[in-house]
Chain A
Amino acid sequence: MPEEKVRILIAKPGLDGHDRGAKIIARALKEAGFEVIYTGLHQTPEQIVNAAIQEDVDAIGLSILSGAHNTLMPAVIKLLREKGADDIIVFGGGIIPDDDIPFLKSQGVAEIFTPGTPVSETIEWVKKHVKPRHKRK
């Protein structure tokens, strides 16, 4: 009978190629029953947001290890807002110093997972906080 899958975009913005974390999360989300859209490396915020809209995802997970999180994460959120898709939840992970987290949250990032966070913790968070967008209201 009708299924309502939660769809999540896992994206790697920025120029670095460290996709170990992104791929582990993608795989763990799949194992947990999510539909994961993986967009590959070196994505610009525009590419990520367009993909998220066309794929009608419920959340975007951004993995950033290059130190550019303070630029890239707000850029994604700004674009989502401009395109009227700011009900897509944005969360992130990577090498992100604690000091930067309040700023990122103030910009609209729902949650930040820092190095060493168990994957299961991230998955649990997604399960709890991400519901199909059209069901949320």
Chain B
Amino acid sequence: MDDIERIKKAKKEWEEKILKPHIEKHPERMERFSTISDHEIKEIYTPEDIADLDYMRDLGFPGEYPFTRGIYPNMYRGRLWTMRQFAGFGTAVETNQRYHYLLQQGQTGLSVAFDMPTIMGVDSDDPRATGEVGKCGVAIDTLADMETLFKGIPLDKVTTSMTINAPAAILWAMYIVVAEKQGVPSNKIGGTIQNDILKEYIAQKSWIYPPEPSMRIIRDIVAYASEHVPRWNTISISGYHIREAGSTAVQELAFTIMDGISYVDYFTREGLDVDSFAPRLSFFFDAHMDFFEEIAKFRAARRMWAKIMKERFKAKNPASWLMRFHTQTAGCSLTAQQPYNNIIRTAIEALSAVLGGTQSLHTNSMDETYALPTEEAVTIALRTQQIIAYESGIPNTIDPLGGSYFIEKLTNEMEEKAWEYINKIEEMGGMLRAIELGYPQKEIQDAAYHYQLQVEKGEKIIVGVNKYVIDEDVPIPILKIPDDLEKKQKERLAKVKRDRNNAKVKEALKLLREAAEDYSENLMPYIINAVREYATEGEIINTLKEAFGEYRDPAYF
């Protein structure tokens, strides 16, 4: 205490005698310094700022509660993070080739990007899919596409992440059946489905059914995995899309953790034992441009989740307390102007993810404001991670910024502000209620608008956009998805529909429809059954829509 008092006094003196006169002569660049989330930052942080920090209580050791410094005892000294580049475009044929290429380049896990029709549960031959087939990712309509997608890739050797939400059960079922056909039993496959519907209502907006039946499907997935696919991460609770929709770092943290609380709360109320599923929950965050804010966010997230799982949900298995997370660098931070600069942005963001202790990482490619990345651009993005991993020396010690006055203070501030949001949402009656009231949606929109105004006023600088602007033609090659791919995919689908046993498809869908009406029934076996008969994704979705209805955009302003 004495020490703190001494520093306090000295700081005051320094401010008066040294800092102030200096500023008078050399004014500061801005009146107010703040993070990209507009969180105010002081000129210097000292032991005074973390006077209340209790090392063992607040930080501890890596691999030990509350895991602020990392979830594994030796972190990257043992195993580096998984370098997982999200990829998919065109039909399964093209994407399968890209996967083989990425695995040859030293990528250690696969990550499937689906096209919009697949994400929305619309088949490629549906008029609503026109112009969108294979554009943002790979088009998957039936099991046949999934078989092609993983051709020559042994599913007991790689883990696969699938960015799919409302129709997650269907795509996951396809994966399980493909593995089975390769001779790999379901308890030997590993990977992740995003399967986080709450953030869809909040931010990403790729929903299909209303919240209640959507939660039920997730329950069914989680329960099925606990029994049959134990190595699968059943939900990737995602802050990424919340952030990309324009939220602040604190909002990303708070809403994501609140989503996590809502899932655990719901599953336990449905009778699942918390330790049976909690170790398979994982998280997914954004790594944005404000370096320290992001690192603080990751550290705060781990600490908060550990507390929640241990203290609130009384999980006994320490594996349930761990927040394992994937990170993707911020797509929304990339600029169309001077696209080479995006390589630098991505490198800084990736660095914050590594310093924040991520378990896996996707680095964006420089051309992604234009289109899906070219092979060359993806390679640079992957190399960025490899340079950090092997050349920078950063992974050689654990949580190297731990103990920094600034980082610890910022970590505490992130946590405090996130709790304020969480408490507020709890008071409203939980996340589903808050979503219904449009609360998180409005908070995010306000933040996005506020940031946009700051950029336009020049209070926030984006190099090449509102400063150091040059006239240029796009200097980089852009990946073009040939328009005939849509035709090809429709032909593939038509062939599957011709060759399958339509009576069996009908029967499988009928059974699924009946199961949907019975809330206590687990839908997974019925979906797997339908998928095996080559029922299309759209057919399965439409069958479930009949039972569950459709969700519509409440569009809050």
Direct contact of A and B (CB under 8 A): yes
A17 adjacent to B478 (CB under 8 Å): no
Residue-wise, chain A 17-61 has the 8 Å CB interface mask toward B (1 for contact) of 111100110111000000000101110100000000000000000
Chain B residue contacts of A87, Cβ below 8 A: none
Whether A95 is near chain B, meaning CB under 8 Å from some CB there, is yes
Known: A20-B245, A40-B553, A119-B452. A15 touches B128 (CB 8 A): yes
A116 adjacent to B337 (CB under 8 Å): yes
Whether A107 is near chain B, meaning CB under 8 Å from some CB there, is no
A28 and B445 CA atoms in complex are apart in Å by 12
A115 and B246 CA atoms in complex are apart in Å by 15
Binds B, one of A1-9, A66-74, A77-85, A129-137: A66-74
A66 and B132 CA atoms in complex are apart in Å by 7
Chain A residue contacts of B84, Cβ below 8 A: none
A72 and B448 CA atoms in complex are apart in Å by 26
A27 adjacent to B135 (CB under 8 Å): no
Chain B residue contacts of A70, Cβ below 8 A: 131
Chain A residue contacts of B555, Cβ below 8 A: 19, 38, 40-41
Chain B residue contacts of A119, Cβ below 8 A: 452, 456
Chain B residue contacts of A14, Cβ below 8 A: 116, 131-132
Number of A interface residues in the complex (CB < 8 A)? 34
Distance in Å: Cβ of A22 to nearest Cβ of chain B: 10
Distance in Å: Cβ of B207 to nearest Cβ of chain A: 8
A118 adjacent to B466 (CB under 8 Å): yes
B371 adjacent to A97 (CB under 8 Å): yes
A35 and B473 CA atoms in complex are apart in Å by 36
Binds A, one of B28-36, B50-58, B117-125, B251-259: B117-125
Distance in Å: Cβ of B214 to nearest Cβ of chain A: 15
Whether B205 is near chain A, meaning CB under 8 Å from some CB there, is yes
Distance in Å: Cβ of A106 to nearest Cβ of chain B: 17
Distance in Å: Cβ of A123 to nearest Cβ of chain B: 10
B200 adjacent to A15 (CB under 8 Å): no
A23 adjacent to B371 (CB under 8 Å): no
Chain B residue contacts of A114, Cβ below 8 A: 336
Known: A23-B557, A44-B128. A115 touches B245 (CB 8 A): no
Distance in Å: Cβ of B394 to nearest Cβ of chain A: 31
Whether B389 is near chain A, meaning CB under 8 Å from some CB there, is no
A67 and B369 CA atoms in complex are apart in Å by 11
Q: Which of B135, B335, B465 contacts A66 (CB 8 A)?
A: B135
Whether B204 is near chain A, meaning CB under 8 Å from some CB there, is yes
A15 and B115 CA atoms in complex are apart in Å by 10
A20 and B557 CA atoms in complex are apart in Å by 11
B369 adjacent to A95 (CB under 8 Å): yes
B449 adjacent to A24 (CB under 8 Å): yes
Chain B residue contacts of A40, Cβ below 8 A: 552-553, 555
B557 adjacent to A68 (CB under 8 Å): no
Whether B37 is near chain A, meaning CB under 8 Å from some CB there, is no
Chain A residue contacts of B449, Cβ below 8 A: 24, 27
A15 adjacent to B116 (CB under 8 Å): yes
A28 and B456 CA atoms in complex are apart in Å by 12
B448 adjacent to A24 (CB under 8 Å): yes
Distance in Å: Cβ of A25 to nearest Cβ of chain B: 10
A15 adjacent to B478 (CB under 8 Å): no
Chain B residue contacts of A67, Cβ below 8 A: 131-132, 135-136, 371, 481
A15 adjacent to B370 (CB under 8 Å): no
Closest to B462 in A: A116
Chain A residue contacts of B481, Cβ below 8 A: 67
Whether B19 is near chain A, meaning CB under 8 Å from some CB there, is no
B131 adjacent to A72 (CB under 8 Å): yes
Whether B41 is near chain A, meaning CB under 8 Å from some CB there, is no
Chain A residue contacts of B369, Cβ below 8 A: 95, 115-116
Chain A residue contacts of B465, Cβ below 8 A: 116
A20 and B244 CA atoms in complex are apart in Å by 8
Q: Which of A27, A95, A118, A120 contacts B370 (CB 8 A)?
A: A95
A27 and B448 CA atoms in complex are apart in Å by 11
Closest to B206 in A: A17
Residue-wise, chain B 218-262 has the 8 Å CB interface mask toward A (1 for contact) of 000000000000000000000000001110000000000000000
Chain A residue contacts of B131, Cβ below 8 A: 14, 66-72
Chain B residue contacts of A69, Cβ below 8 A: 131
Chain A residue contacts of B337, Cβ below 8 A: 116
Q: Which of A20, A26, A99, A120 contacts B456 (CB 8 A)?
A: A120
Interface residues of B in 543-557 (CB under 8 A from A): 552-553, 555, 557
A114 and B462 CA atoms in complex are apart in Å by 16
A16 adjacent to B116 (CB under 8 Å): yes
What 12 additional pairs, Cβ within 8 angstroms, besides A66-B132, A69-B131? Answer: A15-B128, A18-B205, A24-B448, A24-B449, A66-B131, A68-B131, A97-B371, A98-B474, A99-B478, A115-B369, A116-B337, A116-B465
The 7 lowest CB-CB distance pairs between A and B, nearest first, are: A17-B205, A71-B131, A68-B131, A67-B135, A15-B116, A40-B553, A115-B336
Q: Can you list 28 contacts pairing A with B, beta carbon distance less than 8 Å?
A: A14-B132, A15-B116, A15-B119, A15-B132, A15-B206, A16-B116, A19-B205, A20-B332, A20-B448, A24-B448, A27-B445, A41-B553, A41-B555, A67-B132, A67-B135, A68-B116, A68-B131, A68-B132, A69-B131, A97-B474, A115-B335, A115-B369, A116-B335, A116-B337, A116-B462, A116-B465, A118-B455, A119-B456
A binding-site residues for B, Cβ under 8 Å:
14-20, 23-24, 26-28, 38, 40-42, 44, 66-72, 95, 97-99, 114-116, 118-120
B binding-site residues for A, Cβ under 8 Å:
116-117, 119-120, 122, 128-132, 135-136, 200, 204-207, 244-246, 332, 335-337, 369-371, 445, 448-449, 452, 455-456, 462, 465-466, 473-474, 478, 481, 552-553, 555, 557
